[in-house]
Chain A
Amino acid sequence: MTIKEELALIRLVKNGDKDALSRLWDDINPKLYGYLVNVLKDKSQADDILQETWLKAIEKIDKFKDRGVRFSAWLFAIARNECRQFWRQNKVGQAVSWDEMEIDISSQTSEQMDNNLMVEDILKRLRINEQEILRLRFIADLSFKEIARIMDISIISARVRVYRAITGARKVYKINLCKKEKCAIY
């Protein structure tokens, strides 16, 4: 959905149009929920925070200002704050064990599962900031401008960080690949 379409829907939502809100939900929710699950590693917590995020967004929808970013980016910012609040309140570290994460394998092929596992393995070897930025870029499908707004950095910094995260992931991937090949040899 383009920014214009989103803004048009937002205007309708502000006037109480449920259908417009429903369309926004359908478009944004898969990304948002997927992001929350990947961050929290707990679906039940992700459900709670998902609802909280949407409810807060609806409550404060008049505060949303169009400044060249989408409503979905604003939702992700709210979601991040909710996650931080959750960690603070529960005194839980941000990094939940990857091993504890429930992985939905029902709709995936074996190749997809392998790739997923490989990427998850790569990600857990990256720094937390790099993980976060890769989630926002590839799960949430946000633009650099939107990532910059959410993370309170410049657009150029956002680009650089994404690049560095991908570079870091590539390095880890190569290292893992070398280890596999050595394992294969021996």
Chain B
Amino acid sequence: MRNLLTQWGKRQQQLPSENDLYKHRVLDSLHLQDVKVKRPLRFAYVTFMWGIVALTLFLAIKASISWFSPHLVSDSRQPYEAASQKARFDAERKLTKDDLGITYGQYTGLGTRDTRGLYGIVESVGESLSNLIDPVPSTDIREFMKVGYNVAIKTRQVDTLAMRSQTIIRGYGGRVDNASINNKFASISFVVPKKSFEAFKIELESLVGKRFITESLNSQNLLPRKVSIEEQTKTASSSLADYQSQRKDLTDKHNRTVAGYQSQISYYSNQIWNARQELKKTTSTALQAELQMRINSANNEWSRIKRLMDSENSDYNKKVAALDNQIKTQQNQLANLKIQDVNLTDDVETVQGTIMVSWVSYWEIIELYIPFYKWLIAGAMLIVILVAVFGRGRSFEAV
């Protein structure tokens, strides 16, 4: 049948009887037509293309800014994050006042309050210089890890989620230090015990989908601080023992000296009394004069020794007061160091952190699931424009 139709089709092809006449007419009509100048490039087409380029550049720049700009963990417009993040930081290294060669209160005559203030200043200076010197020996491999946990949650129900977060914190034996909540943003600072941190974290993660939560975990080894506390404790204990020993020596020496003076005073007192007794009994003028001389001499010595003893007492009181001051200072320092040690233990045994809850728009939700949706829209617009410019309907432009 196909062959039949093909042959039939070929046979149907024919020329009109007046073929040449018609041909000339058509050819003449071409001659009479104005030769149309080739149309210049369509500016509408060029405009469209520049428009597409501009739009593409705009979206590309916007996407690149949001991609590369540094985000804090709490920034709710972090793109391209579908999973939780964990970060670890190097252990902080701290110096103390002793490493700087300053022992507060010593030989300064400052009172306790002043020395505490000076200690605070020195400690902050020591912290700021802590990166320069590492006091921790490399053989010490102990770990006192302080864990920090920050989480950013995106949701459309900020206040509800913030309240639930606080409930979770308290439910795990934690504490809310600070909470600031409004319908668009909430920030909660908290502390939870380390032993219940994992369970707390899992429950927090279950509040929203994985794409809506960004976590940051950092840990810091407080070993330098621990080592510093230990060394300071050792130094303070050593200083305390030293001062106490000095005091004891001072007291012993003073007692001996005073005892010596006392015995001399007693001796001269006896001499004076004996001479006075003899003076009463004798009638000899010469003997009386001699006895009187002896009494005067003994009196002089007695007074001299009395003065020495007073001076010794005064000196001793001053010295012992100074030593007592030093002892008290060292004892206070030891008490502070004990508190620091307890605080360090608390830091290690707990996890501190913040929960940032921010409101998310539908566009941001789309961006979480389809990070490149802006490119898709741009591509779709480009296709539509190209189809509009180049694509024609299947039918010809029938004249």
Stretch of B26-34, B52-60, B197-205, B300-308 with 4 or more beta carbons under 8 angstroms from chain A: B26-34
A16 contacts partner chain B, Cβ-Cβ < 8 Å:
yes
B396 to chain A minimum Cβ distance, whole angstroms, is 4
Stretch of A54-62, A90-98, A178-186 with 4 or more beta carbons under 8 angstroms from chain B: A54-62
Closest to B2 in A: A166
Count A/B pairs, Cβ under 8 Å. Answer: 126
B395 near A119: Cβ-Cβ < 8 Å: no
Question: How many Å lie between the Cα of A175 and that of B360 in the bound state?
Answer: 74
Given known pairs A30-B14, A54-B26, A63-B397, the reply for A115 and B33 (CB within 8 Å) is no
A154 contacts partner chain B, Cβ-Cβ < 8 Å:
yes
B15 contacts partner chain A, Cβ-Cβ < 8 Å:
yes
A3 contacts partner chain B, Cβ-Cβ < 8 Å:
no
**For residues 13 through 29 of chain B, which have their beta carbon under 8 Å from a beta carbon of chain A?**
13-19, 22-23, 25-27, 29
Question: How many Å lie between the Cα of A92 and that of B306 in the bound state?
Answer: 158
B27 near A22: Cβ-Cβ < 8 Å: yes
Query: Is the interface on chain B under 10, 10 to 19, 20 to 34, or 35 or more residues?
Result: 35 or more
A25 near B9: Cβ-Cβ < 8 Å: no
Given known pairs A13-B30, A108-B11, the reply for A67 and B392 (CB within 8 Å) is yes
Question: How many Å lie between the Cα of A81 and that of B10 in the bound state?
Answer: 23
A166 near B1: Cβ-Cβ < 8 Å: yes
By a CB distance below 8 angstroms, the chain A residues around B394 are: 148-149, 152-154
B393 contacts partner chain A, Cβ-Cβ < 8 Å:
yes
By a CB distance below 8 angstroms, the chain B residues around A22 are: 23, 27
B83 to chain A minimum Cβ distance, whole angstroms, is 46
A116 near B14: Cβ-Cβ < 8 Å: no
By a CB distance below 8 angstroms, the chain A residues around B17 are: 43, 47
Q: Is the interface of A mostly helix, strand, loop or mixed?
A: helix
B7 contacts partner chain A, Cβ-Cβ < 8 Å:
yes
By a CB distance below 8 angstroms, the chain A residues around B36 are: 14, 62
B395 near A149: Cβ-Cβ < 8 Å: yes
B22 near A51: Cβ-Cβ < 8 Å: yes
A39 to chain B minimum Cβ distance, whole angstroms, is 11
A16 near B31: Cβ-Cβ < 8 Å: yes
A137 contacts partner chain B, Cβ-Cβ < 8 Å:
yes
By a CB distance below 8 angstroms, the chain B residues around A115 are: 4, 7-8
B16 near A60: Cβ-Cβ < 8 Å: no
B283 contacts partner chain A, Cβ-Cβ < 8 Å:
no
A116 near B35: Cβ-Cβ < 8 Å: no
B6 contacts partner chain A, Cβ-Cβ < 8 Å:
yes
By a CB distance below 8 angstroms, the chain B residues around A166 are: 1-2, 5
Question: How many Å lie between the Cα of A51 and that of B13 in the bound state?
Answer: 17
B87 contacts partner chain A, Cβ-Cβ < 8 Å:
no
Question: How many Å lie between the Cα of A153 and that of B16 in the bound state?
Answer: 31
A137 to chain B minimum Cβ distance, whole angstroms, is 7
A139 near B396: Cβ-Cβ < 8 Å: no
A85 to chain B minimum Cβ distance, whole angstroms, is 10
Given known pairs A56-B399, A173-B1, the reply for A30 and B15 (CB within 8 Å) is yes
B35 near A16: Cβ-Cβ < 8 Å: yes
- Please encode chain A, from 1 to 22, with 1 for each CB lying within 8 Å of some chain B CB and 0 for all others: 0000000000001111010011
Given known pairs A77-B398, A149-B395, the reply for A37 and B12 (CB within 8 Å) is yes
**For residues 353 through 399 of chain B, which have their beta carbon under 8 Å from a beta carbon of chain A?**
392-399
Question: How many Å lie between the Cα of A78 and that of B399 in the bound state?
Answer: 7
A40 contacts partner chain B, Cβ-Cβ < 8 Å:
no
By a CB distance below 8 angstroms, the chain A residues around B4 are: 115, 118-119, 173
Question: How many Å lie between the Cα of A16 and that of B10 in the bound state?
Answer: 31
A77 to chain B minimum Cβ distance, whole angstroms, is 4
Of the A-B pairs whose beta carbons lie under 8 Å apart in the complex, a sample of 18, sorted by A's number, is A16-B31, A16-B33, A16-B35, A18-B30, A25-B23, A29-B19, A29-B23, A50-B22, A58-B29, A58-B30, A59-B399, A77-B395, A77-B398, A108-B11, A134-B5, A138-B9, A149-B394, A150-B396
The 9 closest A-B pairs by CB, nearest first: A138-B9, A30-B13, A34-B13, A152-B395, A34-B12, A119-B8, A77-B396, A54-B26, A170-B1
Interface residues of A (CB under 8 A from B): 13-16, 18, 21-22, 25, 29-31, 33-35, 37-38, 43, 46-47, 50-51, 54-60, 62-63, 65, 67, 73-74, 77-78, 81, 104, 108, 112, 115-116, 118-119, 134-135, 137-139, 141, 148-150, 152-154, 166, 169-170, 173
